[in-house]
Amino acid sequence: MTDVTVFSFQSGNTWLHGLDVRVKLAALVLLTLSSIHIPPLKLTAMIAALLCLIKYLDLSFITVLKELRFFIVLLLIIFATRLLSASGVPVYSFGPIAISLDGILQGGVVCLRMLLVVLLGLILVASTRYSEIKRAVEWTLAPFPFIPKRRVATMIGLLLRFIPVIFNEAREIKDAQRSRAIEVRKNPVFRIVKLTVPLVRRTFLRAEKLALAMEARCYREVRTDPQFNFSKKDGLILAMLIVLSAAGLVF
């Protein structure tokens, strides 16, 4: 049985759970676009606000850090790359390696933007049912006549459902490798290969089994989807998001 992770729906009665899913998707798009141009101080404030929302959803920060540990390693690699490749007046040098203030700022801003997008997606997935996200994607694609909106929405819904499955598979593989003392090996490339190869293989096998099960049960893309519930509160929050995004882009 798949364990519940932070990248799966967390039931609750908060105002975030009751918010219209279209407003949540609009917030994801608006805040992501505005983060491209806003300065580091505003980025930090936005991330602090998102961390408060994560705490409001009663998600454990320790669990979030555990789930994002590989992403944090990726951020560190990106920060180090920007740090060493950026030009500018060096503030510290050690042989051929020179660290400049521009490199620190560029690397920090890139990492903050990527972290912001991940936290937005985490809040969206944790406070929204998969069926609601699927319905919102289908509604968004409805004006485009040549896009199979139901099929695309179904694929996105299945992708979101597979995120906790992939995490669970990775956890099982790591437990099996730990019992075989693979983590003792000092070569990091060897450990990464021994993790990714069986993980990709088991993920594809799971996807194939799911496709066969859906086909055996005569699955159709035409389903009874949940209805939207757009209220005055949703409109007010959407207007505030538009104003804040525009203010972040202008000032």
Please tell me the pTM assigned to this model: 0.76
* Residue closest to 53 by CA, chosen among 10, 22, 112, 20: 10
| Residues 116-136: tens digit of each pLDDT | 988 988 898 888 888 888 888
> What pLDDT, in 10s, does the model give residues 217-232?
877 766 666 778 888 8
DSSP result, 59-119: --HHHHHHHTHHHHHHHHHHHHHHHHH--S-EEEEETTEEEEHHHHHHHHHHHHHHHHHHH
pLDDT at 251: 56
Angle made by CA atoms 7, 127, 248, in degrees to the nearest 5: 95
Least confident of 104-118, 177-191, 229-243: 177-191
